[in-house]
Amino acid sequence: MASFDFPVSAVDGAARTGRLITSRGEIRTPAFMPVGTAATVKALYPEQVRAAGADIILGNTYHLMLRPGAERIARLGGLHRFMGWDGPILTDSGGFQVWSLAKLRKMSEQGVEFASHIDGSKHMLTPERSIEIQADLLGADISMQLDECTAFGSDRDEAAKSMELSLRWGKRSKDAFGERESQALFGIVQGSVYEDLRAASAEALVETGYDGYAIGGLAVGEGFETMCAVLDHTTPRLPADRPRYLMGVGKPIDLVESVARGVDMFDCVMPTRSGRHGQAWSDYGPVNLKNARFAEDPEPLDASIDCPASRDYAKAYIHHLVRANEYLGAMLLSWHNVAYYEDLMARMRAAIAEGAFEAFRRDFLSRWEAGPAAGR
């Protein structure tokens, strides 16, 4: 298994900043990965995503295997060429989407059999097939082991069985992945909200050995305080010389508090999903551009962000676009939101490097608690 270099340049408390070095370029950490579910970060050109500050994007195994098909993407040169993105790509294993979207799924030791949400066609996703899709057909720089996401609210016995299945699938994923010079494989910590299960999962994954370690099974309804508590007792159990990735999170406050607990990488659909629904993110929270108070507001969304969508368009104009259901409204808001998230990560990296992260964290929390009205 290739061991990606991950030099950490500064540590401030548990927060840290560094670089994850891949064959397709460096990923500055803490890093936010925009989600390119169907080989596109919705409403944005790849060059806009790059210009916004993203070093890496996420692709979705479940959606791409169903449409247009992983074998088709491979015939067309792999995911990077297919979507016109020459930087690093991380792909998820497909397990979460099977858990959350698929109909008639049937879990077994072998894997998970499910019916497509698109046309009802039957598919079998095993650890070996997931790795084949991610690493061989799509050509991901970072692949994820197949795991079972434990539903929030599961009792301890159910969570334990799910976690242990994920560990077995992880070993099979690693065996299928083998030794690769320019690709990496991450393991996934499960165990729901139970500290002893999270500890057992982390210990077993570290013993198996992966290029990085993800924390799964959060952002599934457990709430902010519980998420933070799980991170408090999980991240310290993961190797300091490997990247830590919190999957599917989240709001800006989630990112700040997770970085404070030692997390290095994030992904979430929130920036583009919010953009399609008329929301702009800020340090004060989400701003609803549908609101009539923006109808004659000549100010930009955020002139401090080096992004045309944030800097060059009046809120009044974006309000008009959103209310008129014009495509450009969703495009501009999605562009701004991705740029805002990347700017937030850059500010955290700078604060950690300067040994000032706690001051940054306190200032951010005061703005967040003040709410969107204070940010006008």
pLDDT reported for residue 172:
98
| 92 assigned to a ligand binding site | yes
| 285 assigned to a ligand binding site | no
- As beta bridge partners, residue 36 has 59
Mean pLDDT (whole number) for 30-50: 98
**Would you say residue 319 has pLDDT above 60?**
yes
Q: Answer for the pair 209, 29: CB distance below 8 angstroms, yes or no.
A: no
Q: Identity (one letter) of the amino acid at 67?
A: R
| 93 assigned to a ligand binding site | yes
The residues, ordered by sequence, that sit 6+ positions from 85 with a Cβ below 8 Å of its Cβ are 36, 46, 49, 50, 57, 79
| 183 assigned to a ligand binding site | no
- Alpha helix segments (H runs only) across the chain: 46-51, 61-66, 70-75, 79-83, 95-100, 127-131, 156-177, 195-208, 224-234, 252-259, 270-276, 308-311, 315-323, 327-353, 357-370
| 217 assigned to a ligand binding site | yes
| 110 assigned to a ligand binding site | no
Mean pLDDT (whole number) for 311-337: 98
Mean pLDDT (whole number) for 75-80: 98
**Residue located via tokens 């434990």:** 150
DSSP string, 200-252: HHHHHHHHH--SEEEE-S-SSSS-HHHHHHHHHHHGGGS-TTS-EEETT---H
Percent of the chain with pLDDT over 70: 99
| 212 assigned to a ligand binding site | no
Give the residue range(s) of CATH 3.20.20.105 domains in the chain: 8-266
Residues 123-176: pLDDT tens digits?
999 999 999 999 999 999 999 999 998 878 899 999 999 999 999 999 999 999
pLDDT grade for 1, boundaries at 50, 70 and 90: very low
The DSSP letter of residue 151 is: P
**The two three-digit tokens of residue 114, written as one number:** 């499910």
**Residue located via tokens 């991610």:** 134
Average per-residue pLDDT in the chain?
Answer: 96
**Would you say residue 101 has pLDDT above 80?**
no
DSSP string, 282-327: ETTEEEETTSGGGTT--SBS-TTSS-HHHHSSBHHHHHHHHHTT-H
Q: 8-266: which CATH number, 3.40.50.300, 3.30.70.1350, 2.120.10.70, 3.20.20.105?
A: 3.20.20.105
Mean pLDDT (whole number) for 281-308: 98
Torsion angle of the four alpha carbons 154, 158, 161, 163, in this order, in degrees rounded to the nearest 10: 10
Q: Answer for the pair 124, 115: CB distance below 8 angstroms, yes or no.
A: no
Q: Identity (one letter) of the amino acid at 221?
A: G
pLDDT reported for residue 12:
98
Q: What is the reported pTM? A: 0.97
When mean pLDDT is compared across 96-110, 198-212, 344-358, the lowest value belongs to 96-110
Closest alpha carbon to 165 in 244, 90, 95, 92: 95
| 170 assigned to a ligand binding site | no
CA pseudo-torsion sign 342, 343, 344, 345: positive
Active site amino acids: 92, 267
pLDDT grade for 2, boundaries at 50, 70 and 90: very low
